[in-house]
Amino acid sequence: MYHHTSGPYISTMNLAVLGAQWGDEGKGKIVDLLSPRFDLVARYQGGHNAGHTVYVRGRKFVLRLIPSGILHDSVTCVIGNGVVVDPTALFAEIDELVAAGVTVGRRLLISDKAHVILPYHRDLDLLSEARRGERKIGTTSRGIGPAYEDKVARRGIRIGDLADPTALEKNVRDNVTARNRLVSETTMDWRPVLERLLEQAERLRPWVCDVSLALSEAMRAGRSILFEGAQGTLLDIDHGTYPYVTSSNATVGGVCTGLGVGPRAIGAVLGVVKAYTTRVGEGPLPTELLDERGQRLRDTGNEYGSVTGRPRRCGWYDAVAVRYAVRINGLDAVALTKLDVLDGLDRIDICTAYRCGDRLLSEFPSDLDQLARCEPVYESIPGWASPTKGAHRWADLPENAQRYVVRLEEVSGVPAAIVSTGSERDETIVREGVLAI
């Protein structure tokens, strides 16, 4: 047991906000909500596989590559070296924002070390999924994996490389030729790829900089940073349900490698968790509900991918998975989202452990085969009849909803600093004092 009123009080200003489940936890809403408290918001990994939704007075914004702080004029948005950038997707997103009246201009910084997603990465993503057949990952088909493959294979093209057309030509030609040789199904021409890149280089140039240096200078000048994660802990390349994961470190370690900041730059870590569980794509999901209860969560929670529109798989809250995220990321607190989706349910189940054969597991297994054999152990608690939707004070929550949140805190071993009761900014309970932010 712990008392949330005397929870960790951390004075260091910078905060990491990241997914503590399988992505789509509501990071966009939480980052947007907290952004006015920070000078900079920085993405450290992933690419436009992310879809971070923000509602502002009924207007919907889905941020993919641009940090979710962009809707606040005072915030500078940063794309770190750990992000993979598709310039076409980036420009489309910027154009959409500008059309909606958002100023981007000088408020954006992009690392010269960030790797570029090229058109053939997308083709290779689709091809690789087709080749895997039954064992497909269910990727977002944005070319994310193949772009990170090129990065790790030390043949990737970085944003900074676009400034040198001669070297770029050789790189693009060699890469495309090598891929053509490797993948017999493709005969790609490198010339249009190069031409496009050279055009795009012009538009990118004003935003490109040494992000690590810019952040270090900002911190020395007393400015604060929110580090925004994409995807979620269980989709992390190292700590997720490999191979059913994305190709980057969505967990807290990614902040340091993906931005070039030291570990002490991270003052506190806030995990974002849904009041139940969802996953999009393939791979294990122990608490998945394949019946009408799962459909009820999908319908009420509008659980359809913000990027691909795919229906999300839904299930009860999995405290084993969240405790794992607490350990992997050293979470100080969580923001609990979508509590309102559970309004009106008679009873709600919470998975507190897994049963694997005759063994009871309290820790998330690192072996995927073992995880696949796990059955959730549930505790059932009463639901609530009156709505939590839109509540912005703890005292306004029905007693059983309060009990549910407190029980989640107990079984997850982490306090809830924020409880979200709707997609709008003001549909939020901020429990001041749980986490100093």
Q: Which stretch binds ligand IMO (CB under 6 A): 107-115, 138-146, 151-159, 401-409?
A: 138-146
Which of ligand GDP, ligand IMO, Mg ion, none interacts with 81 (beta carbon under 5 to 8 A by kind)?
none
Query: Residue 85, interface with ligand IMO (CB under 6 A)?
Result: no
| Choice between 176 and 325, CB closer to Mg ion | 325
Q: What is the rounded distance in angstroms from the CA atom of residue 437 to the CA atom of residue 426?
A: 17
Chain-centre distance for alpha carbon 241: 15
Q: Which stretch binds ligand IMO (CB under 6 A): 149-157, 176-184, 219-227, 231-239?
A: 231-239
Residue with the CB atom nearest ligand IMO in the bound state: 281
Query: Residue 82, interface with ligand IMO (CB under 6 A)?
Result: no
Q: Computed over its alpha carbons, how large is the radius of gyration of the chain?
A: 22
Please provide residue 135's backbone torsions phi and psi, each rounded to the nearest 5 degrees: -95, 20
How many CA atoms are closer than 13 Å to the CA of 151, on its beta-carbon side?
25
Distances (CA, A) of 66 to 69, 108, 190, 266, 350: 8, 8, 28, 21, 35
Which of ligand IMO, Mg ion, ligand GDP, none interacts with 421 (beta carbon under 5 to 8 A by kind)?
ligand GDP
Query: Residue 281, interface with ligand IMO (CB under 6 A)?
Result: yes
Which of ligand IMO, ligand GDP, Mg ion, none interacts with 267 (beta carbon under 5 to 8 A by kind)?
none
Which residues pair with residue 429 across a beta bridge? 419
Q: Which stretch binds ligand IMO (CB under 6 A): 36-44, 48-56, 352-360, 388-396?
A: 48-56
Which residues pair with residue 317 across a beta bridge? 350
Give catalytic status of residue 392 as yes or no: no
By CB under 5 A, the count of residues binding Mg ion is 3
Please provide residue 56's backbone torsions phi and psi, each rounded to the nearest 5 degrees: -125, 110
For residues 45 and 259, the answer to whether their CB atoms sit within 8 Å is no
Three-state secondary-structure class, residue 75 = coil
∠ CA 232-95-225, rounded to 5° = 45
Chain-centre distance for alpha carbon 153: 25
Q: Which stretch binds ligand IMO (CB under 6 A): 49-57, 116-124, 353-361, 394-402?
A: 49-57
For residues 417 and 435, the answer to whether their CB atoms sit within 8 Å is yes
Report which of 77, 19, 394, 353 is spatially closest to residue 209, judged by C-alpha positions.
77
| Choice between 311 and 383, CB closer to ligand IMO | 311
Distances (CA, A) of 146 to 121, 126, 127, 215, 272: 5, 10, 10, 28, 28
Chain-centre distance for alpha carbon 2: 28
Stated as kind and residue range, the H or E segment containing 85 is: strand 84-85
| Choice between 197 and 235, CB closer to ligand IMO | 235
Query: Residue 142, interface with ligand IMO (CB under 6 A)?
Result: yes
Of the residues 4, 48, 52, 239, only one is catalytic, namely 52
Which of ligand GDP, Mg ion, ligand IMO, none interacts with 160 (beta carbon under 5 to 8 A by kind)?
none
Q: What part of residues 51-80 is at the interface with Mg ion (CB under 5 A)?
A: 51
| Choice between 76 and 306, CB closer to ligand GDP | 306
Q: How far is the CB of 306 from Mg ion (least distance, A)?
A: 5
Give catalytic status of residue 121 as yes or no: no
For residues 96 and 66, the answer to whether their CB atoms sit within 8 Å is no
Residue selected from 7, 17, 24, 255 as contacting Mg ion according to rule CB under 5 A: 24
Query: Residue 150, interface with Mg ion (CB under 5 A)?
Result: no
**Interface residues with ligand GDP (CB under 6 A)?**
19, 23-29, 51-53, 55, 306, 337-338, 340-341, 420-423
* Residues near ligand IMO (CB under 6 A): 19, 23-24, 49-52, 137-140, 142, 144-145, 230-232, 235, 246-247, 280-281
Q: Would you name the residues annotated as active-site residues?
A: 24, 52
